[in-house]
Amino acid sequence: MTLPTERLDFSAIVHRPKLTLPDGARLVVWVIVNVEEWDPKETMPRTVLTPPAGGAPMPDIPNWAWHEYGNRVGFWRMLEAIDEHRIRAVLAVNGSAIGRYEPIARAALERGWEFIGHGFTQKNMQKVADERDDIRKTAAAIRDFTGKNPRGWLGPGLTETWETPDLLVEEGYEYVCDWVLDDQPVLLKTRTKPIVGIPYTQECNDVAMMLIQHHKAGEYFDRAVDQFEQLYRDAARSARIMALVVHPYIMGAPHRLKYFRAALAHIRAYRDVLFWTGEEILDWYRARRT
């Protein structure tokens, strides 16, 4: 068992050497679109509607269908907004979803989005039968479709076992998004070589905001702008990373999409802000450090 504190030492952001971005840019924004497959034979990962008088009767068709809407309809709305702002996003994708939702994977590939592993299915990494096999199968599914090994990984629901970072490096992954503990990339020790942790977000994340905190749709825009303005100010001293996370079944609903689009438009108006993929952040961070 390796504790988090054994993987990295405490470090205050104000005491680190300055990180600088190319061409005088202050901040990097990366947009992560999560595409999942929900197994109708399992408990649904999230629900919008509880059954009358509670309980968890199976199968759970209404909540399965609510998620499926995102892939049939919502994703395509989201894609339009991302295209409009000329952004290459990151597709965090369940390995099984690539074949199941092939038109989505194809649209992402055609646009040069980065594919990162997001579990083979949308199942807690602590519950999958064989974690290494799951991680490997996910990489294979991405490689078979894109011709490239995935370099990044996001656990389903950001879940990890004590061993996850070790397994990821051994299976060829170079960065992980589960460690939401900083505004800058960090290095995590593993039993072989280190893996980079890139700042993902639980804050500007539609699952937390809409499904857990039950905010109005407009809060996505308000919070993204507030988050951005503070990070932009902080980044005057040293570069920072801001993540924006969306799921097609949440922000792809007709009443929510415009708030995601408005957030992109607001940030896109800044000339000294870069929209990068995870691997661009990784390559930059590695080059700065050496």
Partner 1 sequence: MIPRERCAYSAIVDRPPLVLPNRARLVVWTIVNLEFWDIARPMARQVLPAPTGHVLLPDVPNWAWHEYGMRVGVWRFFELFARLEIRPTLSINARVCEEYERVARAARDAGWEFMGHAWEQMPIHQVDDQFAMINQSLGVLERFAGTRPVGWLGPGLTETEDTPDLLAAAGVKYIGDWVYDDEPTEIRTAHGPLVTLPYTVELNDIPMMLVQHHESAYFTQRCVDTFERLYSEGAERAKIMAIAIHPYISGQPHRIKYLEAVYDHVSRFAGVLHWNGAEILDWYMAARGNQ
Residue 110 binds partner 1, judged by CB under 8 A: no
Cα→Cα distances 216→3, 50, 212, 219, 243, Å: 37, 19, 12, 6, 20
Query: Shortest distance, CB of residue 68 to partner 1, whole angstroms?
Result: 4
Looking at 49-57, 114-122, 180-188, 269-277, which segment touches partner 1 (CB under 8 A)?
49-57
Structure token pair of residue 197: 């942790």
Q: Which is nearer to partner 1, 101 or 175 (CB)?
A: 101
Query: Shortest distance, CB of residue 47 to partner 1, whole angstroms?
Result: 9
Task: Choose which of 8, 19, 25, 72 interacts with partner 1 (CB under 8 A).
Answer: 72
Q: Which is nearer to partner 1, 18 or 255 (CB)?
A: 255
238: enclosing H helix or E strand: none
Q: Which residues contact 212 (CB under 8 A, 6 or more apart)?
A: none
Task: Choose which of 7, 26, 137, 256 interacts with partner 1 (CB under 8 A).
Answer: 256
Residue 62 binds partner 1, judged by CB under 8 A: yes
- Count of residues engaged in binding partner 1, rule: CB under 8 A: 40
Q: Which residues contact 118 (CB under 8 A, 6 or more apart)?
A: 34, 35, 36, 92, 93, 94, 138, 153, 154, 155, 156
No. of helices (H) and no. of strands (E), the chain = 12, 9
Residue 253 binds partner 1, judged by CB under 8 A: yes
Residue 24 binds partner 1, judged by CB under 8 A: no
Structure token pair of residue 39: 């197994």
Site residues, partner 1 (CB under 8 A): 40-41, 48-55, 57-59, 61-62, 64-66, 68-69, 71-73, 75-77, 100-101, 103-104, 214, 216-218, 253-258
